[in-house]
Amino acid sequence: MSFKKPLALALALALLAGCSGGSGSASAGSASAPASSAAGSEEAAAPTTQNEELSKQYSNLNFRLALSYAIDRQQIADLVLKDGSVPAEGFVPKEFAYGPDGKDYRETAGNLLAYDPDKAVEYLNKAKEELGVDNFSVSLLYETDSEAPGKVSAAIQEMWQNVLGINVTLVSKTKKERLDLMNNLTYEIGLTRWGPDYADPQTYLDLFKSDQTAYNGYYFNPDYDALLNKAETGEDAADAEARWADMIAAEKMFVEDMGAIPVFQNGGAMLINPAVSGIEFHNAAVDNYRKIKTTEADKNVTVAINADLNTMDHHVATDGQSFIMQSMVIGGLVSLDADGQPVPDLAESWDISEDGTVYTFHIRPDANWSNGTPVTAQDFVYAWQRLDSGDLQSEYAFLLETICVKNAHEVFDGSAAPEDLGIKAIDDKTLEVTLTQPVGFMLGLMSFPSFFPLNQEFFEAHKDSYAQSIDDILYCGPYVFSEWVENSEYTFTKNPAYWDAANYGDYADEVVFKFISEAQSAALSYQQGELDVVTLTGDLVDQYGSDPGFTQRLQGYAWRLNVNQIVKE
C-alpha cells in the first residue's frame, strides 16, 4: 500500500530537500564504483580492461534510442506479465509521489516513452552510419531467481531481433551472479529494478547523479546533476513547486539521454488465503509481515517467496526480501502503519526542533534485546557509525546523506571521525539526530532497516560470523529467527522479549518464508493448502484470477535496462 495523497502532499510542501551525493553508493543490489567520468573508471585497481568497441556501441545515443523505441512495453505488461504491471512512462512510477498541487508526479511529468518501430529503425541506421558498422550484436543479462525476468528478456530479445534485425544473446544468471557482473562492469545490457525507499521522486532520480555511480549504467551529465542539486540542497529546496519542476526536468533530460531504458512498473498478483490478514504492502517502503494474522487453528502462516534470502545483516542487505525478514526480527525508531504513516516503535515518542533540524527520540524503557540487555541510544549511534563507515562501504550509506545527517559525507570519506556524525546518545534512552537542513521524509525513513540499531558488545563478539546463523543475530523485533535452511525455508516465531509482546496474541505464532522459484509449483502448493501467500506471474494470473484469494495491486518497483557504456572484458 502506498503513501496516501495527504501524507505525500505534506512531504512535498515540507522542506523536502535531501543531501545525497558523495558516498558513491546509491542503488539496491550494487557495489560502489569510484567512477566520476568514463575515463575515471579506469583506475589501476580495476581487474579488467575496457572493451573499446562495445563501449563505443553502447555510448552511442542513437543506438540506445533505437533499443528503446523497439520495445513494445504495453505488450510486455499485458501479454507477458499479466499481473497488473503497466508500461513505464518514465523512470519515476505511477501512484507513488504527489506534487504540491496534489497530482500524481507521473500525470504531471507525462509519458516520456513510446513504441515506434519506424523511429527505432531510423535511429539504428544513424548509429550504423556514425559507428561505421553494418550489424550489431548485443548481450542481455537477466536473473533466474524468479520467472518474470526471463520472460521479459525473451520478449525484448524477439522485439529487437524482429524490429532492428540485431542478434541478441540472452545471458541467464542467479541474482547474485548478475549483480556481480553488473557491479564489475563485465556486462553489456542488464535487466534490473529499483524499489523506492521513501515517497519522493528523489529516491529514483538520485540513482543517476554522477557522484552516485553504483549500479546506474554509468550515466554522467553535469546538467542533470545541477538540476537535482538545485532541487535538493540549492535555491529551490524550500520551494515545493520549483523543486518539483526541477525533478520533472531532470527526468526528461535523463530519458532523452536514454541513460537507462525504462521498461515497466511492477504489478503484484497474489493468492492470499482468505483466513490470512494483516500484511501491509508499501510502495515506498518495506512490505510488513510483522502483523500477519490467521484464523486457522494452528496460527501459523507460510509465505512463498520467489527470491532467496541474501543476508540478515541490515547494513549489507540491498534487496527487498532480506529487508522484509530483517524487519521481522529487529525494528526501528518508528514503523509504518497500513497507510504508510510513521508510528512509534522502539522510540515511544520524539521531539522536532522548531527549525526541523534536530530530532530527539525517546526510546522505550521496556525495549530490550533478546538476551535481556536494554536497547539503548548508543545502539543506534554505533549502528549508524557502522553504516557510514568507509571501510564497510555499505551500499545504503547514501541514505544518511539523503536525509542530511550532519557530517555524513565527511565521515564516509574519512575526513571526519565517526564521532562527528550527527547522532549522539544524550543518555541511555535519549537519542539526538542533527540534520544540516529540514527533510520532510526523514521520520518515515527511520522504519527502513539500514537505520536499525546494533548492539556493539554482541556484534564484536560475533564479528566474523555476524548475521550468518540464527545464533549470530540479536533480536529486538516481534519475532526471532527459529530455523534457517538456506535456499529453502526461513522460520520466525514470536519474541517473548519484544516490548509489545503482550499485545501480539492475535498475530501469527509462526511465519515461514519458503523459497520456491517456480510460480506454478507455488500455486499448486497453495491449492493443496501447503502455502498461504503466493505471488502469481504470466498465465497463472488468468488461471487463478477467479480464486477467492486472488488480489492484485500496482507496486512501486521500476524495471529498467541498464546499458553499460563502460564495458569491461
Q: Does residue 355 sit in the same domain as residue 339?
A: yes
Q: Would you say residue 9 lies in a domain?
A: no
pLDDT in tens, 319-345: 889 999 999 999 999 999 988 889 999
Single-letter residue type at 271:
L
d(CA 24, CA 27): 10
Amino acid identity of 430? T
pTM: 0.77
| Phi, psi dihedral angles at 452 (to 5 degrees) | -70, 160
Do 84 and 211 belong together in one domain?
yes
Nearest to 411 by CA among 448, 384, 432: 384
* Same domain as 172, residue 152: yes
Check residue 214 and give its pLDDT. Answer: 54
Classify residue 314: in a domain, yes or no: yes
User: Is residue 3 one of the residues assigned to a domain?
Assistant: no
The amino acid at residue 284 is A
In terms of domains, do 81 and 170 share one?
yes
Instruction: Work out the pLDDT band at 308, boundaries 50, 70, 90.
Output: confident
What confidence score (pLDDT) does residue 45 get?
A: 42
What distance in Å separates the CA atoms of residue 374 and residue 428, rounded to the nearest whole number?
Answer: 9
**SS3 state of residue 536:** strand
Structure confidence by residue, pLDDT tens digits, 448-502:
999 999 999 999 999 999 999 999 999 999 999 999 999 899 999 999 999 999 9
Residue 546 lies in a domain: no
Strand ranges (E), 174-246: 189-194
Whether the predicted pLDDT of 503 surpasses 60: yes
How many CA atoms lie less than 13 Å away from 369 in the CB half-sphere? Answer: 18
| pLDDT value for 198 | 83
Ranges 24-33, 129-138, 306-315: which has the least confidence: 24-33
Name the residue among 110, 136, 142 with its Cα closest to residue 123. Answer: 136
- Which amino acid, 19? C
Within 345-454, where are the H helices?
Answer: 377-387, 398-402, 408-413, 442-445
Report pLDDT for 284.
Answer: 77
Could you give the CA distance from residue 515 to residue 308 in angstroms, rounded to a whole number?
A: 6
Residue 260, domain member (yes or no):
yes
**Contact between 440 and 331 (Cβ < 8 Å):** no
Q: Is 197 a domain residue?
A: yes
Higher pLDDT, 12 or 442: 442
Report yes or no on 27 lying in a domain. no
Q: Are residues 165 and 115 in the same domain?
A: yes
**Number of neighbouring beta carbons within 10 Å of residue 496:** 10
The number of beta carbons lying within 10 Å of the beta carbon of residue 238 is 14
Contact 396, 412 (CB under 8 A): no
Question: Could you read off the pLDDT of 185-243 as tens digits, one per residue?
Answer: 899 999 999 888 888 899 899 889 887 655 555 788 999 999 999 998 888 988 889 99
386, 475: one domain:
yes
- Radius of gyration in angstroms for the set of CA atoms belonging to the chain, rounded to a whole number: 23
Is 504 in contact with 498 (CB distance < 8 Å)? yes
Residue keyed to cell 496516501: 4
pLDDT band for position 12 (cuts 50, 70, 90):
very low
Find all residues with CB under 8 Å of 500, minimum gap 6, and list them.
478
Cell triple for 558: 521500476
Residues in the chain: 569
Report yes or no: 20 and 109 within 8 Å, Cβ to Cβ: no
- Beta carbons of 115 and 72 less than 8 angstroms apart: yes
**Whole-angstrom Cα distance, residue 360 to residue 362?**
7
Q: Which residues of 19-51 are buried (b: 16+ CB within 10 A; e: fewer)?
A: bbbbbbbbbbbbbbbebeeeeebeeeebeeebb
Q: Strand 137-143 vs strand 189-194: parallel, antiparallel, or unpaired?
A: parallel
Residues 284 and 249 in one domain: no
User: Does residue 474 contact residue 458 with C-beta atoms inside 8 Å?
Assistant: yes
My answer on whether 229 and 289 are in the same domain is no
Say if residues 22 and 211 touch (Cβ distance below 8 Å).
yes
Q: Which residues contact 529 (CB under 8 A, 6 or more apart)?
A: none
**How far apart are the C-alpha atoms of 456 and 210, rounded to whole Å?**
35
Do 285 and 197 touch, CB atoms closer than 8 A? yes
Residue 251: predicted pLDDT: 97
How many alpha carbons fall within 13 Å on the CB side of residue 222? 2
Residue 373: DSSP 8-state: P
Q: Are residues 176 and 283 in the same domain?
A: no
Residue in the structure block whose three cell numbers are 564489475: 184
Rounded CA-CA distance 92/81 in Å is 20
Give the chain's mean pLDDT. Answer: 89
248 assigned to some structural domain? yes
* Centroid of chain to Cα 460: 28
Residue 12: CA count within 13 A, CB half-sphere: 27
Q: Are 172 and 84 in contact (CB under 8 A)?
A: no
Q: Name the phi and psi angles at 336, rounded to 5.
A: -110, 140
Q: Does residue 15 contact residue 440 with C-beta atoms inside 8 Å?
A: yes
Separation in Å, CA 309 to CA 214, 481, 515: 22, 13, 8
- Could you tell me whether strands 550-563 and 260-272 are parallel, antiparallel, or unpaired per DSSP bridges? antiparallel
Number of folded domains that form the chain: 2
Q: Compute the average pLDDT of residues 11-38.
A: 33
Give the C-alpha separation, 222 to 483, whole Å.
49
Residue 23, pLDDT > 50, answer no
| Residues 113, 70: Cα–Cα separation, whole Å | 11
Q: What is the mean pLDDT of residues 92-111?
A: 93
- 386-437 residue pLDDT tens: 999 999 999 899 899 989 999 999 999 999 999 999 999 999 999 999 999 8
Please report, for the domain that includes residue 89, its CATH number.
3.10.105.10
CATH assignment of the domain containing 365:
3.40.190.10
Can you tell me which residue has the cell 503484484?
268
> Between these two residues, 146 and 48, which has the higher pLDDT value?
146
List, for residues 338-393, the tens digit of each pLDDT value: 888 899 999 999 999 999 999 999 999 999 999 999 999 999 999 999 999 999 99
Q: Which residues are within 8 A (CB) of 463 and not within 5 positions of it... i.e. 6 or more apart?
A: none
Identify whether residues 444 and 317 lie together within a single domain.
yes
For residue 23, give the C-alpha cell.
Answer: 558516498
* Domain match, 144 and 254 both: yes
Cβ-proximal residues to 116 (8 Å cutoff; 6+ apart), any chain: 69
Q: How far apart are CA 262 and CA 113, in angstroms?
A: 8
Q: Identify the domain containing residue 102 by its residue range.
A: 51-267+558-563
Whether residue 201 is found in the same domain as residue 287: no
pLDDT of residue 1: 30
